Structure 1
């Protein structure tokens, strides 16, 4: 198992979540690609998006069908500005590469917003720490593992 996947698996186990990381046949750097391989709706993919809210990393777990609005996010967290993090900033904040950012397993916990639209699915799929891995979670597990605040992100 890749070290990033092991960090995520360990964090899940420490939280008492029995979900197992699955390796996909191909990378799934986009929600559409992951959904295609899993045979599920794009909306059931939990995109892990990293932003900078007043220069502080912020993780947004959004439905793969959602288009996130930075003004809505800024209002939700009381930030003056919210910008999308670049690849270097994402790796610095999460220890993981864009396309494989898991909801957990980061060097330090990130302030997190969770899209309530993900709650419409019995199983949601989040990246497992690398672009070719995914982990099935319930909405409640996602909120729990991220200590996320459930709020509209679009």
Structure 2
């Protein structure tokens, strides 16, 4: 088990999330690949995207449904400041995860976290578990409460 997957497992226990991490034979890096591997709808895939606030310079974790993209032109009205993609080296050093395997839990430094309201329409969603081919399923309401995520509407 990789250090990242172990950190996700430990974080889930601390947060009271009952998860089972699955290692897929192929990459689940894209939402379509993940949905195929997990045998679910693309909308049930949690994309864990890391952005940098242009004013605060703080990292922000945005949990987005797999069938959506984030409209960065609306970032200021949603998140209080414009956002840009975070530098991959900074993402790894502050979260402990490489882009493509960023989990919604188990970060070295917990970023401000937001969750797309569309994810809450599902009973179960699938998220990265620390590597490009590891995933776990979770009730999105439980995840949202466990990580104190703020809800936003991405339309």
Shared fold per TM-score greater than 0.5: yes
CA contact (8 A) 1:103 1:145 kept: no
Matches within 5 A, 1:24-103: 24-54=24-54, 55-79=57-81, 81-103=82-104
Report the CA distance between 1:146 and its aligned residue. 2.2
Report the CA distance between 1:89 and its aligned residue. 2.3
Report the CA distance between 1:77 and its aligned residue. 2.2
Rounded Cα–Cα distance in structure 1 between residues aligned with 2:129 and 2:143:
12
Report the CA distance between 1:20 and its aligned residue. 1.4
Rounded Cα–Cα distance in structure 1 between residues aligned with 2:95 and 2:75:
19
Shifted more, 89-98 versus 128-137: the winner is 89-98
Q: 1:1-45 CA distances to partner (integer Å, 9 max, x unpaired)?
A: 111001011010001111111111111111111001111111100
CA contact (8 A) 1:53 1:74 kept: no
Runs of at least 4 residues off by over 3 Å: none
CA contact (8 A) 1:62 1:115 kept: yes
Rounded Cα–Cα distance in structure 2 between residues aligned with 1:131 and 1:74:
30
Corresponding residue of 2:108 = 107
Shifted more, 118-127 versus 87-96: the winner is 87-96
Q: 1:96-152 CA distances to partner (integer Å, 9 max, x unpaired)?
A: 011100001111211011000011211100000111100101111220232100111
Q: How many pairs align?
A: 153
Rounded Cα–Cα distance in structure 1 between residues aligned with 2:135 and 2:142:
15
Report the CA distance between 1:82 and its aligned residue. 0.8
Rounded Cα–Cα distance in structure 2 between residues aligned with 1:45 and 1:78:
26
1:11 corresponds to 2:17: no
Shifted more, 88-97 versus 120-129: the winner is 88-97
- 3-state secondary structure, aligned to 1:102: coil
Report the CA distance between 1:93 and its aligned residue. 2.6
Aligned alpha-carbon RMSD (Å)? 1.2
Tell me, which stretches of 5 or more residues in structure 1 are unaligned? none
